[in-house]
Amino acid sequence: MTELDDELFARNYLGDSLLHWAIALAILAAVFFTLLLLRRVIRSQYGRLAATPQVELLELPLLVASRTTVLFLLILSIFAGLQAVQLPPKVHQALVTVVTIATFWQAGLWITTAVLGSLDRKRSSTRDSDRAIVGTLGIIGFIVRVVIWSFVLLLTLDNLGIQIKPLLAGLGIGGLAVALAVQNILGDLLASLTIALDRPFVVGDSLTIDTFNGTVEYIGVKSTRLRSITGEQIIIPNANLLSSRLRNNARMGERRVVFTISVSQDTPPAKLASVPAMLRSLIEARKEVRFERAHFAKISATSFDFESVYFVIDPDYGLYMDIQQDINLRLLEALARDRIELASPSQRLWLEGDSRLLSELVPPGTADAKPPAAAQPAQSQSPA
């Protein structure tokens, strides 16, 4: 029995003895289960640190290590186990190539995780103090992923024996055709980079774009999403957004208000002279505003127009409306107290003709009334 066992273990299998293959399998299993156990411990430790509100020093390294894939651990275990056997040179070279490619892809995953983890940590720490970081870091993360995996792909092709230089030259020629085909997408991508670097607006800003009004919710690589004042979401491509005339209401330091009233033309000059001072006192009574001017601005066809200008030192629209409402109510009281009437849309007609035509317009019971020889005001009417 001993001689049979010795003969069995001494026999060659794929160029090596069964004993060596058994040792290789034992090494493979030991290394694989040890690495799996180590990864489980790392993930458990990372989960414990991530559950705390504080950002720990080892949190990011543990996050990177926890993203190690099972396939990569298996390839490493197979490589370690096969070191116990004598492999043909070509097989050994192929094994080294597989391990190298697997290491490149795993390294790409580690680096991507580290960069995105750092960006997420930066985003969380500066979200309240710098809202621009939210959109900028998202675009940076996309660019970093593209660069990292492009390098990984090129290194993989190089290890597979593919000449990279002719491939890059071919991609350069073909890239022109692709660029023409996807020029809208590339335009939006470049526009997103412009938004990230120039920061004409950030997440949370209130924008007015042509006929649209809304608050920026998300700045992406292809488009920017606004939440309109009526509740729906507005999606605008980044290229179109930058080519439009937009107003960033969130960066308004103070709100300028032009306030116009029209009084009746029957108002005597003495009372007209008191209106600018009245407007000034009403506006300056509010501590949230800064008065600029109030003037008798215009004599229109049916009214006397007064224009006042003031600034609300807080750009909040709701505050502006509260202030304007208060000024309007107190203005009505002041005008009623001084017996100054607001102008109403009316039209005064002058009729000119012979007495027969005018007599037909005289109402019954006023036959004794004689129309003047010259033109006179005949009636006043309000347009429908």
Digit-coded pLDDT (tens) for 33-77 = 999 999 999 989 888 888 877 777 778 888 888 889 999 999 999
Helix (H) or strand (E) holding 266: none
Two tokens, residue 159? 């290890």
Whether 149 shows a pLDDT value over 80: the answer reads: yes
To the nearest whole percent, how much of the chain has pLDDT over 70? Answer: 77
With residues binned 3-state (H G I as helix, E B as strand, rest as coil), the percentages for the chain, rounded to 5, are 55, 20, 25
Cβ atoms 194, 240 nearer than 8 A: no
Whether 335 shows a pLDDT value over 70: the answer reads: yes
> What pLDDT, on a 0 to 100 scale, did the predictor assign at position 16?
62
Confidence of residue 337 (pLDDT cuts 50, 70, 90): very high
Alpha-helix residue ranges (DSSP H) falling in the chain: 2-10, 18-50, 59-66, 70-81, 89-126, 132-159, 164-181, 183-198, 238-243, 269-284, 317-337, 355-361
Please state, in angstroms and rounded to a whole number, the distance separating the CA atoms of residues 384 and 381.
9
Q: Give the angle 87-93-98 at the CA atoms, nearest 5°.
A: 110
Helix (H) or strand (E) holding 210: none
> What pLDDT, on a 0 to 100 scale, did the predictor assign at position 378?
39
Whether 345 shows a pLDDT value over 60: the answer reads: yes
Two tokens, residue 24? 């290789």
Whether 4 shows a pLDDT value over 90: the answer reads: no
Looking at residue 306, the DSSP 8-state letter turns out to be E
Supply the mean pLDDT for the chain: 79
> What pLDDT, on a 0 to 100 scale, did the predictor assign at position 176?
57
Cβ atoms 238, 200 nearer than 8 A: no
CATH number of 255-337: 3.30.70.100
Least confident of 60-69, 87-96, 292-301: 87-96
Confidence of residue 268 (pLDDT cuts 50, 70, 90): very high
Least confident of 15-29, 147-161, 356-370: 356-370
* 198-250: CATH architecture: Roll (2.30)
> CA of 137: how far to CAs of 131, 220, 221, in Å?
11, 10, 11
The residue-averaged pLDDT of 356-383 equals: 45
Whether 356 shows a pLDDT value over 60: the answer reads: no
Q: Give me the residue spans of the domains in the chain.
A: 2-185, 198-250, 255-337, 347-381
